[in-house]
Structure 1
Amino acid sequence: MHSLEQTLYWMQTVITHPLGVAEGIASTAARRVIDIDPANAEEVVTRSETLSAVQRMEIYSHAYYARLLDCLREEFPALRYSLGEELFDEFAVGYLQDYPSASYTLFELGSRFPRYLRETRPPRAESTVGSSQSADWADFLIDLAEWELVFNQVFDGPGLESKSAFQVNQLLQLTPVQLVETRLFVSPALRLLRFKFPVSRYFSAFRRQEMPELPEPEQSLIAISRRRFKVKTLELTPAAYEILYALIQGQTIGDAIAAAAPYTDLHAASFGDELRTWFHQWAELGFFEFALIPD
């Protein structure tokens, strides 16, 4: 006689197995709890008048995976649009088989989907015409999946809503020496992303129901964060990207600006004007939490 705890754990292991109920019963994890094979499943679950024990459990297994599939469709709507319903579902089912849900929360369900797409992409020579180094359709899909994943993580993750907004005017009151030695601590919601395609623009067009076409390859540098419970995105120049990257790494403002200098051809005065514009904009978008100002 099996205990209720054993039976529940066994059923969970069997029903959630990515290859199906019979494979779940025969799995090592299930046999550690109740050591039977699929032919003897009725020792644990009784059959009905019309269905065997395995068939009864398959109903729950199908419902479980149908729910997970619905969640992935909701989490990656632009990717689903790009691939089409049928092809998206094929990728999603393959993903759930290779990366079964292992968390108590559905928030983590799609966290490895971009990795799965990278691992299963066709060889570049087969998926693109021309240079073997050029970006192709598979690269676009991977970029788009990464973008939607990060967008959802920023939307649901920690932010600064409970704290006072950082005021960039604090920096204007500093001496030049203090300013270059100041460190800016960024919002926990801030992410920097580098893509081969303009997926942020594509995603925005999709949300406006403009039915966007596959874009041409184009390096895209994006900052994404959240302010007042709204996700904010900003396309960056290479110099702006380098500054924010250095600040995220904990470097001083002076070191961050120095790191960006090779990425701009503006003379000092024009670059200074651009820096002021950027820092005001970044503060408005909630990129910064507070400043550590030296004495």
Structure 2
Amino acid sequence: MNQQIAQLQEQILKHITGVSSTTIDTNSLTASAFSTSSIQTIENGVDHLLRPNAHLPPAQALAIYQRAYIARLLECLRADYPVLRQYLGTQLFDHFATEYIQAFPPTSYSLFDLGKNFSDHLEQSCPDLASFNQQDKVTHQLPIQIAVAERLRIRAARAIGLEQRQLIEPNYHNLQHAKAIALSISDACGLMSAHPALLDILSGENRERDYVNIDRIYLAISRSNYRIRTDILQIWQYHFLHLLAQSTQTPILLEDLVMHTSKESNLDAETIYAHLSLWLPIAISRAYLYVEFVDT
């Protein structure tokens, strides 16, 4: 008996959540009318699962839950990506979001995980840009970059940050001569590169700027004292933090970080140490990273 109930639940769940995105009319998800095409996708398989009632046949009854399921997930994605929704417009955003729900149906108990692959889906949906001019390339890439930035903001807000951690402060004027300083990146810090227009979009400023002399910026999105911030990084700072973020073995010794950053940014080690004496206290205060230990 219990097995039969479990099978029945599984079949109904499949009918509710397994509908093709092409059968969902995203413009009327909040309306009371039923989508005929949506009903047709399930009407052949539910007659033996549900009894008809005085008001609705089985397919229409199940379609209520089918549409509510998609509508709820769309609502979550709209809440997670408000800037992208405003940038694309609700209709186009819902189109991509509904396709995404079909391509990446939720498997986690937490709706926080629902949008984790949304930027990947947008990138996969993007046409081949090889033959596009620079302006058209930027136009197609910006929605992807907005999605990446908004996801990093969500992660920073939910991560275990450094607010409750007792931070270690090394001697910033003697970094090069310390025996060992080990660093780790904060879970509440994310990195990305983007077109400079992204900053205007995230801040809500619609400015017509000329970006002839710069086509890429590097950003750190972090949470410091429970406040989300987005900061522009110099390229050597980005390489420095990127190694911390990509490493599977943390903490990393400062001298190893400097050596790697020197190779990636074409700056000599002494110059990087000089920059670090000024930038490292800022990086710690903005919760990009933290010092694990210092051996002087």
TM range (shorter): 0.7 to 0.9
C-alpha separation in 2, matches of 1:289 and 1:50: 63
Q: Distance in 2 between matches of 1:86 and 1:159?
A: 36
Size of the alignment, in residue pairs? 272
Residue 222 (structure 1) aligns with: 219
| Contact 1:226-1:286 within 8 A present in 2 as well | yes
Which residue of structure 2 aligns with residue 16 of structure 1? Answer: 17
The one-letter amino acid of 1:292's match is: F
Q: Give TM-score scaled by structure 2 length.
A: 0.79
Q: Percent identity?
A: 24
Match of 1:35? none
Q: Distance in 1 between matches of 2:294 and 2:168?
A: 14
SS at match of 1:47: coil
Equivalence for 1:276: 277
One-letter code aligned to 2:284: A
Q: Which of 45, 67, 77 matches 2:50?
A: 45
Say if 1:224 and 1:233, in contact at 8 Å, map to a contact too.
Answer: yes
Give the aligned partner of residue 127 of structure 2.
122
Q: In 1, distance between residues paired with 2:221 and 2:207?
A: 21
- 1:223 counterpart SS class: strand
Query: Residues 175 and 273 of structure 2 are in contact (CA less than 8 Å); yes or no, is this contact kept in structure 1?
Result: no
Whose RCO is larger (CA < 8 A, sep 6+)?
2
| Consecutive unaligned residues in structure 2, runs of 5 or more | 24-37
| Equivalent residue number for residue 246 of structure 1 | 243
Q: In structure 2, give the amino acid aligned to 1:229.
A: Y
User: Which residue of the partner structure matches residue 189 of structure 1?
Assistant: 188
Q: For the residues of structure 2 that align with 1:40 and 1:190, how far apart are their CA atoms?
A: 48
Alignment of structure 1 residues 149-164 onto 2, 5 Å: 149-164=151-166
Q: What SS does the aligned partner of 1:124 have?
A: coil
Cα 1:40–1:198 shift into 2, 3 Å: closer
CA distance in 2, matches of 1:85, 1:214: 26
Deviation at 1:23, TM superposition (A): 8.2
Unaligned runs of 5+ in 1: 26-37
Structure 2 contact 173–277 (Cα < 8 Å) conserved:
no
SS in 2 for 1:188: coil
Q: Could you tell me which of 88, 91, 96 is aligned with 2:96?
A: 91
Whole-angstrom CA distance in 1 between matches of 2:49 and 2:77: 32
Indicate yes or no: 2:66 matched with 1:69: no
Matched residue, 1:233: 230
Structure 1 counterpart of 2:115, from 110, 114, 131 = 110
Say if 2:188 and 2:287, in contact at 8 Å, map to a contact too: no
Q: TM-score, normalised by structure 1?
A: 0.79
Q: Which moved more, 1:186-195 or 1:277-286?
A: 186-195
What residue identity is the alignment partner of 1:231? I
Matches of 2:18 and 2:40 in 1, distance apart? 7
Q: Distance in 1 between matches of 2:260 and 2:103?
A: 41
- Cα contact 2:106–2:114 (8 A) shared by 1: yes
Measure the CA separation in 1 of the matches of 2:56 and 2:145: 45
Alignment partner of 1:55 is 2:60: yes
- Quote the offset at 1:39 in angstroms: 3.3
In 2, Cα distance between the equivalents of 1:221 and 1:130? 19
Change in Cα spacing, 1:185 to 1:58, as seen in structure 2 (3 Å) is same
Residue type at the aligned position of 1:185: S
- 1:184 and 1:129 map into 2 onto residues whose CA distance is 42
